[in-house]
Amino acid sequence: MAPQYEIRADYDGETIVVYQAHAPAIADAALAAGSFVAPVSFHRMTWIKPSFLWLMHRSNWARKPGQERILAVRMTRHGWHEALSQAVLTTADPAAVTQAAVHAQWDPERSPRGAALNHYSIQVGIGRHLIRTFTDEWVVSLADLTPQVRKAAALIQTGHPAKAQRLFPPERAYPLPRTLEERLLPR
């Protein structure tokens, strides 16, 4: 049984993969440039999610307007830890949340069909003052997962969840340093 609050992610010794859903124009420009560029907004918070299935729930498997493209954003673990070290839980004092450079919240993890599970996944909001650092220093690469997302969604809809699961990125428990764990785990 998974711990109630645990970051599960696709990662290696140097990087971690987080996911974002974007409109086609944003995804196309980012993929062509190999980095986030206009028309992405650098003036508002951008949310990153290490849980593939949570983003599939949020984007309705890339079918929500403005979220039709799914990008795997490989970022440095150093950047991930830096973002988390500045994060304030959205359940904290509203004044602290308003002032925070990074927001973090725990939402129920999702099954492939979107059902809420009994453990939580983290979502991290990178504030507008850190977005350029995120895009210019922390992002290592971008990959378009939209074709495999559409294929997996079709398999789930036609009653083949085991086949769909083979298309999901591998995720395992992410080892957080104790200081970040103390900062991010709800009390």
- Look at residues 15, 166, 3 and name the one whose alpha carbon lies nearest to residue 78: 15
Does 1 have pLDDT greater than 90? no
Q: How far apart are CA 35 and CA 52, in angstroms?
A: 20
Q: How far apart are CA 58 and CA 110, in angstroms?
A: 10
Over the stretch 64-109, which tens digit does the pLDDT of each residue have? 999 999 999 999 999 999 999 999 999 989 999 999 999 999 999 9
- Please report, for residues 17, 62, 134, 137, the alpha-carbon distance to residue 65 in angstroms, rounded to integers and kept in the order given: 23, 8, 25, 29
Q: What is the pLDDT of residue 2?
A: 59
* 3-class DSSP assignment, residue 60: coil
Predicted TM-score (pTM) of this structure: 0.95
- Look at residues 123, 98, 34 and name the one whose alpha carbon lies nearest to residue 71: 34
Over the stretch 6-51, which tens digit does the pLDDT of each residue have? 999 999 999 999 999 999 999 999 999 999 999 999 999 999 999 9
Percentage of the residues of the chain whose pLDDT score is greater than 90: 96
pLDDT tier at 3 (50, 70, 90 boundaries)? confident
Domain-by-domain residue ranges, the chain? 8-184
